[in-house]
Amino acid sequence: MLKIFKIVPGKVKLYFFIGVFLLLINVVTSLLVPMFMSQFIKLIAQGSNSKSADIVLFQKFIIFRGQYDQTIKALIILTLSTVIISFITSLASIIITTWAGNETTNFLRDKLYKKMQKFSLKDIASISQESLITRVSNDVAQYWDFLISSTSTLVRAPLLIIGGTVFALLTDMTLSVSILVIVPILIGLIAFIMIKAAPLMKKNQVVLDEITKEVDENILAARLIKIYNLKDMQEKKFTSTNDKWLKLQVKSNNIFAIGHPFFFALINVVLVLIYALAGIKIWNGFDDYNYLATINIFIEYMFLISFGIVLLSQYLIVFYRAKVSCGRINQVLDFKFTNLFVEDGEYLDKDNKKGYSIEFKDLNFKYFDTSKEKALSDINFKLLPGQTLGIIGPTGSGKSTIANLLVNNFEYKNGSIRIDNKEVNKINSKSLHENVGIVYQEAMLYSGTIRSNLMFAKSDASIDEINKAMRVSCAIDFIQTFEDRLEHPVEQRGKNLSGGQKQRLSIARTLLRTPKLLILDDSTSALDNITTNKLLKGIKDEYDCTTVIISQKINSIKHADLILVLDESKIIGKGKHSELIENNDWYNKVYLNQLQKLEE
């Protein structure tokens, strides 16, 4: 927790300390109020017939002496002034510390987000997407609770306990015996509650990750759930996880709930003990009309001590929850990510007129070092500048892995991958991403307009460049049907567009960057054959680039200069379409099957 606070900006820390200082003044004035209130009881008992009266603190220190009516007025002014100071410092402290807390959480979320931006796909998978979401949202919120509690409760509670105890001892030593009864019992109760509840709170955060994961999956797969009538099954699955969270929450809350009735019962017992001790003292001959005021002020301090202990117990609940959250936040901040960003690497030739060459040599790749099976095994091929590479194979054969390795999304250790005769992991990352474009099967569109989504690729793109990209990608076909054309709204994830429309818009966006190497990772899967052929021909004719086409449809890759057939992470066939038809059984079987479906 302190580790996180150390990285907070100095200005924010200063505001926290100002808030704490104001809170100190508030607590001191709060401790003085009961003492002033008890003086009213003493003056009432003394009577207005007295010629003079005093305002005495701790039965020893006279702070004012005068006529009876003057003393009453002075006491009223002192009490009201103390209450006003207490109110103002409390309000100011809350405003300042809340602002500082919000600034801290804003800073922390920003830092987490920037750190996660550096994560590779492998790093994200090792923590999980849903856990990262929970850490940025819920865990940071828990830390906010901790900060606010630390600058209020953690400061207030010890001062109330210590200050109340000191003031109570100065008020009456005999009655202070009751403190020896209540304090150890309350501390023991708090310790018991914390020991029992801490493991439950830790489990609760883990289950919360599971809930986030299931909600995310159900939202993204809403159509699939409806199509296959999986609603009941998914509801049961979510209810099971939610019930698991509920049981842990109820169990921990029940443990915390034990303290409240026990606390109030203990207070009543202590009150009886105070009155019993006072009665014994009077029985033994003590006779002082001021003793009623002494009993009253002592009870007030007992309540302040008890209140401080209860506040401390509530703070410990927040503390343990935040401790779990801080551990999870620190795991992200301290995470040794796979640094795939190359700052001082080689630059690709952006003025290249033909496109880049590609060469894979003796490549073997695993997603995780502990994995038994390879994702790619003994991959060797070479593609000349301006040529087209087609990749086909069953699901899980390693097609998309090749695409991700070409844009350096994963770290490879065995073998070589070269673009334009430069090792991929030694190419400057900015240069790589500016000159190599990739379009994934799942088109990622942001809420906004068609224009704003296109401009992500090139913010200063001219209207001619935009029109060319839309025409070649065949996106112009559907954009022209909208009255507002480029200003047509796009909902989050492009929910108001069809699958084919989203894919064409994604391809147009990538073409705007005029990449020298274009990778289409099954990104024409939602397009019909006529549109696909028209799109691929347009790219070949109007853009000077090397193209990699990953597809399950042979029609999309049959005109490629080189086709790779992958199965179980290996190349089981390599050549042109006509060659593979003759000498590769898997390719020939798929081709005949797809041809038959087209004829039907």
Helix (H, G, I), strand (E, B) or coil at 418: strand
The H or E element that residue 563 is part of is strand 562-567
Instruction: Tell me how far apart the alpha carbons of residues 549 and 389 are, in angstroms, rounded to a whole number.
Output: 6
pLDDT at 438 (0 to 100): 95
CATH superfamily of 2-333: ABC transporter type 1, transmembrane domain (1.20.1560.10)
Joined tokens for residue 282: 């009077």
Section 536-541 average pLDDT: 95
The whole-number average pLDDT for the span 268-282 is: 76
What are 365-387's pLDDT values in tens digits?
998 888 888 999 999 999 999 99
**Cβ(39)–Cβ(63) below 8 Å:** no
Q: Work out whether the CA dihedral 53, 57, 58, 60 comes out positive or negative.
A: negative
Which one, of 113, 109, 111, lies nearest residue 138 by Cα?
109
Exposed e or buried b per residue across 300-321, where buried means at least 16 C-beta atoms within 10 angstroms of its C-beta: bbbbbbbbbbbbbbbbbbbbbb
Mean pLDDT of the 474-498 span: 92
- Which among 541, 527, 548 is positioned nearest to 478, based on CA atoms? 527
Length of the chain: 600
**What confidence score (pLDDT) does residue 246 get?**
87
Q: Note whether 2-333 and 358-599 share their fold.
A: no
**Cβ count near 233 (within 10 Å):** 11
Of 9-13, 244-248, 515-519, the poorest mean pLDDT is in 244-248
Name every residue whose Cβ is closer than 8 Å to that of residue 198 and which is 6 or more positions away in sequence: 320
Spatial CA neighbour of 186 closest among 251, 282, 262: 262
Q: What is the mean pLDDT of residues 105-131?
A: 87
Mean pLDDT on 414-443: 94
Tokens 């003085």 -> residue = 32
The reported pTM is 0.68
Sign of CA pseudo-dihedral 438, 442, 444, 445: positive
What pLDDT does 227 receive? 65
Q: Where are the domains of the chain?
A: 2-333, 358-599
Give the model's confidence band at 290: pLDDT under 50 very low, under 70 low, under 90 confident, else very high.
low
Residue 213, pLDDT > 70, answer yes
H/E element, 137: none
Three-state secondary-structure class, residue 358? strand
Q: Mean pLDDT, to the nearest integer, of 532-545?
A: 94
At the top level of CATH, the class of 358-599 is alpha beta
Burial of 252 (0-12, 13-18, 19+ CB in 10 A): buried
pLDDT at 49 over 70: no
What value does the mean pLDDT of the chain take? 86
Q: What's the rounded mean pLDDT across residues 532-537? A: 95
Mean pLDDT of 510-522: 95
Taking alpha carbons only, the member of 271, 266, 273 closest to residue 299 is: 271
Residue 327, CA distances (Å) to 160, 339, 439 in order = 30, 23, 37
Distance CA 303, CA 30 (A): 12
The two structure tokens encoding residue 549 = 């086409």
Q: Confidence class of residue 341 from pLDDT cuts 50, 70 and 90?
A: confident
Task: Supply the pLDDT for residue 183.
Answer: 75
Q: Is the pLDDT of residue 599 over 60?
A: no
Look-up of token digits 């306990």: 161
Count CB neighbours of 467 within 10 A: 14
Tell me which of 204 and 110 has the higher pLDDT: 110
Contact present, 549 and 557 (Cβ < 8 Å):
yes
Using the predicted structure, report yes or no on whether residue 358 has a pLDDT greater than 60.
Answer: yes
Helix (H) or strand (E) holding 438: strand 436-439
Tell me: the pLDDT tens digits for 233-267?
Answer: 888 888 888 888 888 888 887 877 776 677 777 77
Nearest to 366 by CA among 328, 342, 337, 398: 398
Q: What is the DSSP letter of 353?
A: S
Structure confidence by residue, pLDDT tens digits, 152-202: 787 788 888 888 888 788 777 777 777 777 778 777 877 787 788 778 877
Spatial contact of 133 and 273, defined as CB atoms under 8 Å apart:
no
pLDDT per residue as tens digits for the range 320-337: 778 888 888 999 999 888
